[in-house]
């Protein structure tokens, strides 16, 4: 029988408030709080905390405060990753972000989802779907990326967009829901 964590990582219905997952979320919240409290000029200290929190990062990873996530270990960022203020990543499933990506302020990346059926939702069951963001992507401020979305390489996502479907390479997307505005 699978644990709730194994179900979560597989994108199946799971219960989030068991001892294991609750403990891991509390650890991530403690590390986020620690990271957000370190002054910006103490770059190495901030990188050390990110190294403990994120699944993959390196010396070129830079995230402005405040940063919040569910678990951290499901977040994998490539080289030259930059995120502006108030990034939220709900990482119940894997979030993979390529190299040379820039994220504007107040961006939300959600792998977490809840059932549409009210009785199932009320039972406490939830699920997740992984998100992949390619290389050389620029995500504008206040963008929301929904569960299960794959974003191609060399993409620009305009401020305020809500991305609900996959985005091909080399395009600009905008709107609610986001749609291709032009090819690059």
Active site residues: 114
Nearest to 151 by CA among 134, 170, 126, 174: 134
Which residues are CB-neighbours of 126 under 8 A, at least 6 positions away?
13, 14, 15, 16, 92, 112, 113, 114, 115
Element of type H or E holding 52: helix 43-53
C-alpha 151/C-alpha 153 separation (Å) is: 7
Nearest to 104 by CA among 149, 145, 75, 73: 145
120 close to 113: Cβ distance less than 8 angstroms: no
| Prior bond of 66 cis (ω within 30°) | yes
- As given in the structure block, the two tokens for residue 44 are 């190495």
């Amino acid at each position: 029988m699978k644990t709730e964590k194994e179900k979560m990582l597989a994108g199946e219905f799971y219960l989030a408030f068991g001892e294991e997952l609750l403990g891991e979320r509390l650890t991530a919240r403690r590390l986020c709080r620690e990271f957000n409290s370190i002054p910006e000029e103490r770059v190495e200290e901030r990188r050390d905390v990110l190294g403990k929190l994120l699944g993959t990062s390196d010396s070129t990873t830079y995230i402005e405060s405040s940063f919040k996530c569910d678990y951290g270990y499901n977040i994998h960022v490539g080289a030259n990753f930059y995120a502006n203020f108030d990034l939220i990543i709900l990482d119940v499933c894997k979030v993979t972000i390529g190299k040379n990506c820039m994220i504007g302020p107040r961006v939300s990346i959600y792998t977490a989802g809840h059932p549409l059926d009210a009785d199932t939702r009320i039972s406490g069951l939830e699920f997740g779907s992984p998100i992949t963001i390619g290389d050389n992507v620029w995500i504008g401020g206040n963008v929301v990326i929904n569960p299960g979305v794959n974003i191609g390489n060399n993409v620009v996502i305009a401020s305020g967009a809500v991305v609900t479907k996959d985005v091909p390479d080399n395009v600009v997307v905008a709107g609610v829901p986001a749609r291709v505005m032009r090819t690059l």
